[in-house]
């Protein structure tokens, strides 16, 4: 009997247990998700995930994934937190069996790390990392090669759908709204540009050599060869093991720097085990405001003290323009031989020419490294093909890869938004209205209007004025690359209403096809010099709409009329060395108040005609060239640039002209001093031999007669004030940026920068040149430095409202006066000048 009762009770308890288990399962739900950085979109490992009501919690895995259980049919809030990020609260009404979500965390402002214990294990970890840098730094290898996949995306941030729909001019582009990434509903962004490249890269340290062979390119909107090259890996190589990292031309102190403890506070957070290996979590924050530093964290492999992953977030008070936010993530992998190599770089920057919170651009660059080989002969064989230390080569057919190739060879798949970008940009570029908007914006900013194979402008030279012509009209026409890739034609006509003279210029430049580096140029000019020094195309001229508004008062304008024929042939050896052989024939005419040419000419007909042959040499190691539609810009880096010119005057077949020889040399360099800003200097000198020469064939030291600061001139010297036939001088400027201003606490959070400079030249004239040029002319007296020096020095504030600079300049020597008829005022000994700059 009792056995039967026992069986009933046993069956009852079994059914009850099964029922409770079924009920328990039915009453619970699972929330799964991924945790990522909202700005960089990188996943955040080992974040804390918990329920606000129950307190139940877990830790996400090393990939930022989590899975947490909760009761069904209840409302609760998920709390997600990680060191260095703001706590994110996600209210959930738990109705489904499984809820999948992605949670984005915002970084928080770096606060000071307070270490209460006398023993700071974070500082000890940092010392161990620094001590092992020579072993773990990937660049310690003699040579290596790898395949590099680069992806660059540009998005418009702070994009407002509501404002977009309000503008009538933008309504035809309504389809763009369908491409807005609204994963983050509060701050959607619009992807507008994407490009990808796959390259084979080779590197050697002793001596330094580098080569990148781009095998495949996929891009929309960028057709310029040089821009495609600089989207490769060479221009943004960053190594967090370096003491200093250069970003946007500014030095940032790495938290792994050998002097990092002077700039950072360190804290050891926790340890984790990944695949059986112990990793330490090190946090770092800046010690002071106003310095180019980072906040962030890194995961350190305990056994080797090598970095597995590091995240660097730019300090909010760093001295850098237009960059609102910037993050850099680097990941490393330890190989079987215990060496560490790069695995992945991600660089994200938010750039805005406007105030914070306004329309901005987010640029994201992802670099993935694979097929890494170290110290192999094949690397040196590839580097032997270089014609200079750094070389980027785009292989034939790199732009012709189809969709199947990219699907197979792309190191990581594109997101849905990235796939939409390609289609959207193609659609935009085919819209006539979009092309019209782009043309109008280009015309306003660049000044030129493209009309198929030709272009007109710049518009700011169409109307100008000066004392000689009163009102001057000018109209330019030039060819574009639709006309020819090798041949460029340009010409203009100008007319002065006071002198009633027609002036102009015609020129062409032809670049021979291939890699030989030959080009030829010819021009004919009949025009006023317009304030430009000879052989210097970067001077600020008077031939524009705004020049008369900023002239210094009490100084008469002085002009030469040049009738010049010029031809040159140039050969370039890569970007390192160039030689230019030239011939020119120039007929000069002077205008009051300059001395009349009749008192200077040695010819019977009172003409001043010079025929000259010249050779100009330029050595610029490490230079890179960015080519635009009309001009080449050389990026010299920190290497010195040496220029030498040899010129000879030759009389023509009738014996007219002058016989002379000119020699000039110049050394120019720009470099940064870690923690102390940027230094620019130029040292120059020259000597002129031969016949007595009129002043326009001598060295006319460049002066400046407007309130706009000219870096290539002496700003308190007037034009044609001093002449020399032998001279030497230097320009020197040191921009301390915020180094000194940071000593004043109330200026640490400002963007102001401070600099000082000095310019000097010593010169003299031979006795024969002095007799010819230093006469008592009726309206103007030319002067020589007579072996003395002209010196001016200045200081000022840069980066005012991010665009403007103010220079305070003092003239120290010499004390002479420039004598002008009816105007015998002393030379200014002090001046205030302004200028406009775009700089990071």
CB atoms within 10 A of CB 24: 10
798-835 exposure pattern, b = at least 16 Cβ within 10 A, e = fewer: bbbeeeebebebebeeeebebebeeeeeeebeebebeb
pLDDT value of residue 146: 92
> Is the Cβ–Cβ distance between 693 and 660 less than 8 Å?
yes
pLDDT value of residue 388: 63
Q: Pick from 430, 461, 494: which residue ends a domain?
A: 430
The pTM of the full predicted model, rounded to 2 decimals, is 0.73
**Is residue 448 in some structural domain?**
no
Domain count, the chain: 3
Q: For the segment 448-501, what is each residue's pLDDT rounded down to a tens digit? A: 888 889 999 898 899 988 888 889 999 999 998 889 988 999 999 999 999 899
Strands 48-51 and 143-157: unpaired
206 and 318 together in one domain: yes
177 and 54 together in one domain: no
96 and 169 together in one domain: no
Q: Which residues contact 455 (CB under 8 A, 6 or more apart)?
A: 448, 449, 477, 478, 479, 480
311 and 369 together in one domain: yes
- Give the domain range for residue 18: 2-105
Q: Which residues contact 321 (CB under 8 A, 6 or more apart)?
A: 751, 799, 802, 839, 840
51 and 184 together in one domain: no
pLDDT value of residue 42: 76
User: Which regions of the chain are under pLDDT 70?
Assistant: 1-27, 72-75, 93-97, 109-119, 158-171, 173-191, 221-236, 353-358, 387-390, 417, 531-540, 623-637, 653-656, 815-826, 840
pLDDT value of residue 400: 85
23 and 158 together in one domain: no
> Hey, which bits of 28-123 come out as E strands?
28-37, 48-51, 57-59, 65-71, 74-81, 88-94, 98-105
**Is residue 261 in some structural domain?**
yes
Question: Using CA of residue 393, residue 399, residue 402, residue 406, what is the dihedral sign?
Answer: positive
Omega within 30 of 0 (cis) for the link into 207:
yes
Q: Which residues contact 419 (CB under 8 A, 6 or more apart)?
A: none
pLDDT value of residue 576: 82
pLDDT value of residue 182: 47
Strands 209-219 and 390-394: parallel
85 and 166 together in one domain: no
3-state secondary structure of 720: coil
Nearest to 249 by CA among 266, 268, 236, 231: 236
**Is residue 492 in some structural domain?**
no
Angle at 685 between CA 680 and CA 688, to 5 degrees: 155
CA distance 668 to 620: 10
**Is residue 438 in some structural domain?**
no
708 and 790 together in one domain: yes
pLDDT value of residue 234: 38
Cα separations in angstroms, 724 against 326, 518, 719, 820, 835: 51, 35, 13, 20, 29
pLDDT value of residue 75: 66
Strands 28-37 and 98-105: parallel
């Amino acid at each position: 009997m009792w056995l039967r009762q026992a069986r009933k009770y046993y069956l009852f308890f079994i059914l009850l247990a099964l029922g409770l288990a079924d009920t328990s399962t039915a009453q619970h739900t699972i929330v799964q998700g991924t945790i990522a950085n909202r700005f960089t979109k990188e996943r955040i490992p080992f974040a804390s995930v918990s329920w606000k009501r129950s307190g139940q919690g877990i830790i996400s895995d090393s990939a930022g994934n989590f899975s947490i259980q909760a009761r069904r049919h209840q409302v609760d809030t998920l709390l997600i937190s990680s060191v260095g990020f703001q706590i994110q609260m996600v209210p959930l009404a738990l109705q489904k069996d499984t809820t999948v979500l992605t949670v984005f965390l915002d970084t928080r402002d770096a606060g000071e790390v307070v270490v209460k214990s006398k023993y700071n294990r974070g500082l000890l970890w940092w010392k161990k990392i620094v001590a092992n840098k020579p072993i773990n730094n990937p660049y310690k290898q003699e040579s290596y090669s790898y395949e590099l996949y680069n992806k660059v995306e540009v998005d418009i941030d702070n994009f407002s759908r509501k404002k977009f729909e309000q503008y009538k001019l933008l309504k035809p582009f309504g389809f763009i709204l369908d491409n807005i990434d609204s994963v983050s509903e509060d701050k959607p962004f619009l992807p507008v540009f994407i490009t990808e490249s796959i390259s084979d890269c080779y590197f050697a340290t002793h001596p330094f050599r580098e080569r990148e062979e781009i095998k495949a390119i996929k891009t929309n909107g960028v057709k310029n060869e040089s821009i495609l090259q600089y989207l490769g890996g060479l221009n943004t190589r960053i190594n967090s093991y370096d003491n200093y990292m250069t970003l946007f031309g500014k030095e940032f102190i790495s938290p792994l720097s050998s002097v990092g403890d002077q700039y950072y506070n360190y804290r050891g957070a926790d340890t984790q085990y990944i695949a059986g290996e112990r990793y330490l979590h090190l946090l770092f924050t800046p010690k002071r405001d106003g310095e180019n530093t980072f906040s962030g964290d890194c995961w350190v492999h305990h056994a080797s003290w090598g970095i597995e992953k590091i995240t660097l977030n730019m300090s909010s008070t760093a001295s850098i323009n237009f960059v609102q936010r910037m993050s850099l993530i680097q990941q490393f992998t330890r190989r079987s031989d215990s060496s560490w190599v790069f695995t992945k770089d991600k660089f994200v920057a938010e750039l805005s020419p406007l105030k914070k919170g306004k329309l901005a651009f987010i640029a994201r660059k992802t670099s993935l490294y694979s097929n890494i080989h170290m110290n192999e002969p094949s690397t040196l064989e590839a580097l032997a093909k270089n014609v200079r230390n750094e070389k980027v080569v785009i292989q034939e057919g790199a732009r012709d890869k189809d969709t199947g190739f990219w699907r197979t060879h792309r190191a990581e798949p594109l997101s849905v938004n990235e796939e939409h970008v390609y289609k959207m940009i193609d659609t935009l570029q085919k819209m006539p209205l979009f092309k019209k908007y782009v043309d109008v914006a280009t015309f306003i900013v660049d000044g030129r209007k493209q009309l198929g194979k030709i272009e007109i402008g710049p518009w700011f030279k169409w109307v100008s004025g000066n004392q000689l012509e009163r009102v001057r009209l000018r109209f330019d026409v030039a060819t574009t690359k639709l006309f020819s890739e090798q041949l460029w034609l340009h010409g203009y006509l100008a007319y002065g209403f006071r002198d009633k003279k027609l002036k102009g210029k015609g020129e062409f430049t032809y670049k021979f096809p291939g890699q030989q580096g030959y080009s030829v140029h010819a021009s004919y000019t009949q025009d006023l010099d317009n304030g430009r020094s000879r052989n210097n195309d970067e001077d600020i001229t008077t031939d524009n709409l705004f020049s008369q508004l900023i002239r210094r008062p009490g100084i008469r304008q002085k002009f030469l009329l040049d009738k010049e024929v010029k031809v040159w042939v140039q050969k370039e050896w890569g970007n390192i060395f160039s030689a230019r052989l030239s011939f020119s024939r120039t007929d000069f005419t002077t205008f009051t108040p300059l001395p009349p040419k009749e008192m200077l000419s040695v010819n019977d007909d009172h003409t001043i005609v010079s025929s000259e042959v010249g050779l100009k040499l330029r050595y610029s190691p490490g230079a890179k060239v960015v080519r635009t539609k009309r001009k080449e810009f050389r990026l010299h880096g920190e290497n010195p640039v040496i220029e030498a010119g040899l010129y000879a005057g030759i009389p023509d077949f009738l014996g007219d002209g002058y016989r002379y020889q000119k020699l000039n040399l110049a050394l120019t360099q720009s470099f940064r001093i870690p923690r102390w800003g940027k230094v620019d200097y130029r040292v120059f000198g020259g000597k002129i031999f031969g016949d007595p020469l009129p002043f326009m064939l001598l060295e006319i030291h460049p002066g400046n007669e407007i309130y706009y600061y000219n870096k290539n001139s002496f700003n308190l010297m007037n034009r044609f004030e001093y002449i020399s036939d032998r001279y030497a001088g230097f320009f020197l400027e040191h921009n301390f940026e915020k180094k000194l201003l940071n000593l004043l606490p109330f200026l640490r959070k400002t963007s102001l920068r401070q600099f000082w400079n000095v310019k000097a030249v010593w010169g003299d004239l031979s006795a024969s040149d002095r007799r010819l040029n230093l006469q008592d002319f009726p309206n103007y007296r030319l002067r020589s430095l007579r072996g003395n020096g002209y010196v001016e020095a200045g200081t000022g504030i840069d980066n005012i409202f991010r665009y403007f600079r103010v220079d305070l300049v003092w003239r120290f020597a010499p004390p002479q006066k420039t004598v002008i008829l009816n105007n015998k005022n002393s030379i200014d000994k002090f001046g205030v000048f302004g200028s406009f700059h775009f700089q990071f």
